Every structure is written in structure tokens, then in C-alpha cells.
Chains A and B, each alone.
Chain A
């Protein structure tokens, strides 16, 4: 999609714009299909709560970064575009962190290390590079939100499975009934360790490809 196609007035939620939002949830999921952003999936999905906080933060940063880069797209010199993208992401993240620290200190305490992790999330830079540099602000915004949401739901799914099976809790509350433990059920300590996140993502990819044959690589 180039600027030329976009010249005629397009409805805010035209079918094409809707696709920008929905494709990354399934067929074009940044984690399951493009296998980007895996590092943070491994690091922060031990609990559901942290996964939620991270997902929301990424939606915010990605939406904003895509819009800013898209607004600047005609002025950015191609040779230093990566530096410009990084600067935009890093400044946004620092700004968000400062504002949280001043106004909602408790939330900022919860975010702690994630703030740094957002900067290194390759999905964000990937979308800036692949989409925002060539497209208008509104489609870029949708693309950013869509991809962040695609990243987010996988994060929640993995966090859900790992907290439930690894600690027997959800959001910190015990959910496995006591009698199961008395019957000999034990929490799986493996689920707490990062490699199990990779295996959980693998299972999600497996299920997705089983349902959507188009994604299977037959070469």
C-alpha cells in the first residue's frame, strides 16, 4: 500500500483498514507467524498480571510510535531512519515512564523492568520500518494497535497457562482447589522457567496452524 492508493478519501474503517487491525491477530500475528518479540514473551509471562500490564503498555507505545513516524515519514533521511525510529521509541517510553512515576506511582512500580523491555521489542521497530514509513498516520495507527493486540493476546494466553500450571494461581489468587492437591496434584515447577514459555508458544502455533492450513509451510 502506498500513499498514491490512499489519495482518495477512504472511510475510517474501510475493509482495508479493518484488515490492518484484525490481520495481526491471526494470519499475520507478530509472534505466532512472524516469530518476533519472543524475548519478552519468555521473560514476563510467569504471571498473568505482568502479561496484562506489558500488553497494555505495548499497545500505547506502538500506536503512538507508528503515528509519529508516519507523520515524519517524508522528512526522515533513509540513511538514518533506524536511528530516528529508535529515538522516537526510546523517548516515548521514557516519557510514559516519567508521567506514570509522577501521577500513578503504583502502576509505575508494577511496570518497573518492562519499560526497558518495550524499547527492545523488535515488533515495534519492525512495524515502523515495514509500515509506518510508507503509510499515512491513520492506517499506521491501526496497524500499530493491531500488531500490539496480536502480541498482547499471545502474551495473555502464555501468561494464563504458565501461572495456572506453574503456580496454581491466576492474578495471584489460588484457583486450583485444595482437594486436588490432597489427591496428589502438584504445580509444575517447569512452567515457571523461561523455556516453557517457548514450548507454550509452540503449542499455540501448532493449534493455529492446525486450524489455518494456509499458514503451513509446504516447501
Chain B
């Protein structure tokens, strides 16, 4: 086979593969984006312990989430659509310029606040939503997810066994100082309201969750303090 044939073969192969793949990506994109929107709604609802099947997620989201707003680092409201804010982009900006989304939920007359978080695990990004009760101190629920943590180890942060530990934990101590929940290797003391058990074999991912909670919630501190004093 001549060099000419080899080059032509390679070129044709690349063109065909590129066409097939980009064609598939373009065709399937609307469906994929819809799936991702629904998943985001499911995750936000999960943070306030409302299980939402795929086909009902949109209805339930509109029913329970009454206000979706953006606040800045001083806790002042900003213009914009909270649902469309990408934390990935926001975290790159200086704190003063960040848009911080807040989802306010009304569940049978009780108010909950859901805030998104994003950080780094061992292999890639991790993210999640934390739901706070109306005192903005007690965690009502948490939902985590990851891009590529090790299955069975770090990936367990998205399992219920890990997430359920956060229920009832507190992010401010009794004196009102900011003290986020830490994930502790080897197990947290039973009576510590600011700590949960880490995952065996997933220490770096566990530490990633600790950092994500600290960094992610800290920027909301002025906003939370405003709610507390009002």
C-alpha cells in the first residue's frame, strides 16, 4: 500500500468519524440538556428531602421552590436567573464579583434555603446542594455528586449513606461563629454537630467535601447573617 493510500485512508477516516460524532452530538444535545436541567432540579429538591422522580421533577420544582435569586458577597440581591448560574465560572472570579444563587423553598409553610456548592475531589470536580432550615444554621439535607471519583470509594459521596449524615448538622456554633461541617477520616465523634464520618479509601474526596463546604458556604455568610437578624 502506497503512502498516498495511507494518507488518504487516514484523512477519510478522520473526516467520517468527525462527521458522525459531531452529528450525533448536535442531534442529541437538546435532549441531553433537558436531562441535565431535570437532574439539577432533582438535586435541589433532594437537598430538602423531597424525592422527585424524573417525570415529576419539573412540576415539583415549580411547586416547592418559590424564589430563585442571586445574591452577592455582601448578601445583597442581584439581577439574573439563579438557575442558569454556573458555579464553575463563578468560582474563578474574585469573591466581590461572584453571583451566588439561592433557592428558597416553601414546604408546607416551612421555609428552606438551598445553596449550590462546587469543589474538587481526587480526579475531578465534585458539587452538591445543601438545604438549610429556616434558622439557616441547621442542615435539612445535602446532595452531592461528582464527575469521576473512584466507584465504590470516593464516588460514595453521592450515596445516601454519606449524604444522610448531614441531616441535623449545624454550620454555625452556639456563639454564632461560622463552623461548617467537616468530613473526618476514621469517623466523627457521635455528639459533634459539625462533623460527619469520612469514607474509607476515599480520604482525598472526603477532604474535598470538607473544603467545598467551607469555601462554598463561607461566601454566603453575610446573606445568612442577614436572614438571622431579620
A-chain residues with CB within 8 Å of residue B200 when the two chains form the complex: 189, 192
A71 at the interface (CB under 8 A from B): no
Q: Pick the most buried of B13, B14, B17, B148: most chain A CB atoms within 10 A of its CB.
A: B13
Question: Which residues of chain A from 80 to 95 have any CB-CB distance to chain B below 8 Å in the complex?
Answer: 80, 83-84, 87, 91, 94-95
Check A50 against B10 for contact (C-beta < 8 Å): no
B138 at the interface (CB under 8 A from A): no
A-chain residues with CB within 8 Å of residue B152 when the two chains form the complex: 44, 46-47, 50, 163, 192
B62 at the interface (CB under 8 A from A): no
Check B9 against A46 for contact (C-beta < 8 Å): no
Check A193 against B201 for contact (C-beta < 8 Å): yes
B25 at the interface (CB under 8 A from A): yes
Check A95 against B21 for contact (C-beta < 8 Å): yes
CA distance A113 to B149 in the complex (A): 8
What is the interface of chain B, defined by CB distance below 8 A to chain A? 1, 5-6, 9-10, 13-14, 17, 20-21, 24-25, 28, 31-32, 35, 38-39, 54, 123, 146-153, 155, 200-201
List 27 A-B pairs, Cβ < 8 Å: A44-B152, A47-B151, A47-B152, A50-B151, A75-B9, A77-B5, A79-B1, A80-B10, A91-B20, A91-B21, A95-B20, A95-B21, A98-B21, A102-B32, A102-B35, A103-B31, A105-B32, A105-B38, A105-B54, A109-B39, A112-B147, A113-B123, A113-B148, A113-B149, A113-B150, A192-B200, A192-B201
CA distance A109 to B38 in the complex (A): 13
Check B21 against A78 for contact (C-beta < 8 Å): no
B-chain residues with CB within 8 Å of residue A43 when the two chains form the complex: 150-151
Q: Smallest CB-CB separation from B38: which chain A residue?
A: A105
B-chain residues with CB within 8 Å of residue A91 when the two chains form the complex: 17, 20-21
The majority secondary structure among interface residues of chain B is helix
A-chain residues with CB within 8 Å of residue B14 when the two chains form the complex: 87
Interface residues as binary, A33-63 with B (CB distance below 8 Å gives 1, 0 otherwise): 0000000000110110010000000000000
Q: Do A105 and B21 contact each other (CB < 8 Å), given the known contacts A80-B6, A80-B9, A99-B28?
A: no
**Residues of A in contact, count (CB < 8 Å):** 33
For residue A91, give the distance in angstroms from its CB to the closest CB of chain B: 5
Check A101 against B35 for contact (C-beta < 8 Å): yes
Extra contacts, 20 of them, besides A77-B6, A105-B54, A113-B123 (Cβ < 8 A), are A43-B150, A77-B9, A78-B1, A79-B1, A80-B9, A84-B9, A84-B13, A87-B13, A95-B21, A95-B24, A98-B24, A99-B24, A101-B28, A101-B32, A102-B31, A105-B39, A112-B147, A114-B151, A192-B153, A192-B200
A76 at the interface (CB under 8 A from B): yes
A-chain residues with CB within 8 Å of residue B123 when the two chains form the complex: 113
For residue B66, give the distance in angstroms from its CB to the closest CB of chain A: 27
